[in-house]
Amino acid sequence: MKLGLQGRILLMLCLVSLLQLVLLSGASYYYVSEQRYREVGDQALDVARLVAREPGVIAGVKRADTARLNVLVERIRAEVGASYIVIGDGEARRLVHPNADRIGKPMMGDDPGRALQGEFYISRAQGSLGVSVRGKGPIRDEMGRVIGVVSVGYLVRDIEADLQGFLRFGLAMTLLIVLLNSAAAAWLAKRYKRALLGFEPEQIGRLYAELDCTLRTVREGILTIDEQGRLTSLNPNGIRLLRLDERAAQAAIGQPVGQLLPGSRMLSILQEQSPQFDEEIVLNGQSLIVNRLPLVREGKLIGAVSSFRRKDELAELSAQLSQVQAYSDLLRVQTHEHNNQLGTIAGLIELGATREALAFIGREAATEQTLLSFLMGAIAKPKVAGLLLGKYHRAHELGLVLEVDPDSRLHDIPARVSGSQLVTLLGNLIDNAFEATRRHGAPYQPIRVSLSDLGQDLILEVEDGAGGVDPALADTLFERGVSSKAEPGHGIGLALVRKTLDALQGTITIEATAQGSCVVCYIPKEV
């Protein structure tokens, strides 16, 4: 079963603490045991020196009086707490031993020759009584001659029995510390889980990847700060919209937001703690529409987030939506025109003018069918044909005349040029021609449209009846916000034309004609 974050933290801390305590306890036990063995060895050597200088022992060894020596040595052993004391003569035969049957036999264990040579030393070896730590040394007479050997031993099993208490204490403390660490780990895990809103690490990783992808995908700029006003994130589109250097933007993460964007007014949201929507500000020379929201968790302010987009991009989007609305209006106009025609036919029939009604039907049907057949045959993109048909009826409703060059042809259209792009170009140019012609005044000259796919370019021509274009505006007419109209809020349609042509790597020109001006768009078939 896969453990959650809380279980993993608990298990990890418990295992780590257990491993640490086991290693620490093992090292401590090894150190204490070695220290104890050294202490016991030193003690055994001190007792061996004491016994070797005892006059009674010296006299007993000289006379080989085993009976008196055993009584004397046993008394000394009991006083010092040694496991055993063994005394041998000058040939290392036992004179004193805890087991009487071993008296007279050679001493076992390590070679007693070192002691017979006059050396005191400590050894650990297997003897007749078991493994022991021994202190050995020579027994000398009054003349300093070595006359025997004394061996004072402490059995290893007795030493280890003393260490068992320390080991049990260490294990008990280890268990206690593990239990305390488990309780602390459970508390920490629960707290971290609450801080992570109950998400598991894998879920957090996936959410982070999704959030990063989302921030890179959205067209808006996204900026976040913490409760101290320090910049915590700025998505790539935000860097682009604000015209910032990417390295400088990344280096500003963790710094006060005012250092990178002095005019952002992000700190105001921390003070007011209320949402701010659709606020227009100028930041880094860019006119932006900004939304700001405070970030609150469990009733506590933890930061703020801001989304922003260029004002002109929103205006452009609005213009595109308006274009869609215009297409809808064209359909309405066409429907209205057909209803008027049907009303005329019905009136003629009621008056009994059947012949006139049939003639009217024939004329209208022939005109409509002729135009429709021509457009569908000449233009490969149904969207473009539908646009021209709708604009034809719209011109009729406005009291204008829209003429499509009978030699128009638009079949050889490259795949990279979509019908929507052609609709954007023609729709905005024709609408502009309608407005320019009506503004010029009656009598209205016809608006002419010509389409051509001959040669290396697609050529779109729209001629108005406005009497020409102002030379002062000829070079800037297709820039955003520039218009020949005096009213504010214009200049977007032709800017969309320019943007669409830029995407298609096309060009546009304005030529003066006898009745007005002609806008010509050139779209290369190959790039």
φ/ψ of 121, rounded to 5, equals -155, 165
pLDDT value at 33 more than 80: no
**What count of Cα atoms within 13 Å lies in the side-chain half-sphere of residue 361?**
13
pLDDT band for 359, please (50, 70, 90 cuts): low
Each residue's pLDDT tens digit, 190-241: 776 666 666 666 666 677 677 667 766 777 888 889 988 898 888 888 888 8
C-alpha span between 291 and 487 (Å, rounded) = 29
> What is residue 313's predicted lDDT score, i.e. its pLDDT?
62
Each residue's pLDDT tens digit, 382-396: 888 888 888 888 888
Report how many helices (DSSP H) and strands (DSSP E) the chain contains, helices first: 15, 15
C-alpha span between 377 and 247 (Å, rounded) = 56
> What is residue 218's predicted lDDT score, i.e. its pLDDT?
74
pLDDT value at 177 more than 80: no
179-183, 400-404, 428-432: segment of lowest average pLDDT: 179-183
pLDDT value at 133 more than 80: yes
C-alpha span between 104 and 382 (Å, rounded) = 127
> What is residue 457's predicted lDDT score, i.e. its pLDDT?
92
Q: Which residue did the predictor score with more confidence, 131 or 231?
A: 231
> What is residue 111's predicted lDDT score, i.e. its pLDDT?
67
Q: Are 498 and 478 contacting, i.e. CB atoms less than 8 angstroms apart?
A: yes
Number of CB atoms found within 10 A of residue 503's CB: 11
pLDDT value at 108 more than 60: yes
CA separation, residue 241 to residues 219, 280, 415, 458 (Å): 9, 15, 31, 33
Number of CB atoms found within 10 A of residue 175's CB: 12
pLDDT value at 522 more than 50: yes
Closest listed residue to residue 261, CA positions, set 235, 275, 243, 273: 243
Mean pLDDT of 25-36: 75
Of 263-267, 312-316, 367-371, the range with the highest mean pLDDT is 263-267
pLDDT band for 156, please (50, 70, 90 cuts): confident
Of 22-31, 243-252, 346-355, 424-433, the range with the highest mean pLDDT is 424-433
> What is residue 106's predicted lDDT score, i.e. its pLDDT?
84
Mean pLDDT of 265-292: 82
> What is residue 301's predicted lDDT score, i.e. its pLDDT?
87
Question: Under 8 Å CB-to-CB from 425, ≥6 apart: which residues?
Answer: 460, 497, 500, 501, 521
pLDDT band for 452, please (50, 70, 90 cuts): very high
> What is residue 340's predicted lDDT score, i.e. its pLDDT?
59
Q: Which residue did the predictor score with more confidence, 402 or 475?
A: 402
Looking at the DSSP bridge assignments, the partners of residue 460 are: 451, 521
Mean pLDDT of 321-330: 53
Query: Looking at residue 442, what DSSP letter applies?
Result: S
pLDDT band for 450, please (50, 70, 90 cuts): very high
C-alpha span between 348 and 336 (Å, rounded) = 18
> What is residue 486's predicted lDDT score, i.e. its pLDDT?
43
Mean pLDDT of 322-327: 52
94-98, 221-225, 264-268: segment of lowest average pLDDT: 264-268
> What is residue 463's predicted lDDT score, i.e. its pLDDT?
92
pLDDT value at 52 more than 80: yes
> What is residue 38's predicted lDDT score, i.e. its pLDDT?
85
Over the chain, what is the mean pLDDT? 78
> What is residue 138's predicted lDDT score, i.e. its pLDDT?
92
Question: Under 8 Å CB-to-CB from 259, ≥6 apart: which residues?
Answer: 252
Mean pLDDT of 481-487: 44
Mean pLDDT of 234-262: 84
Mean pLDDT of 461-471: 73
> What is residue 448's predicted lDDT score, i.e. its pLDDT?
93
* pTM as predicted: 0.39
pLDDT value at 92 more than 70: yes
> What is residue 524's predicted lDDT score, i.e. its pLDDT?
93
φ/ψ of 494, rounded to 5, equals -70, -30
pLDDT value at 356 more than 80: no
Looking at the DSSP bridge assignments, the partners of residue 323 are: none
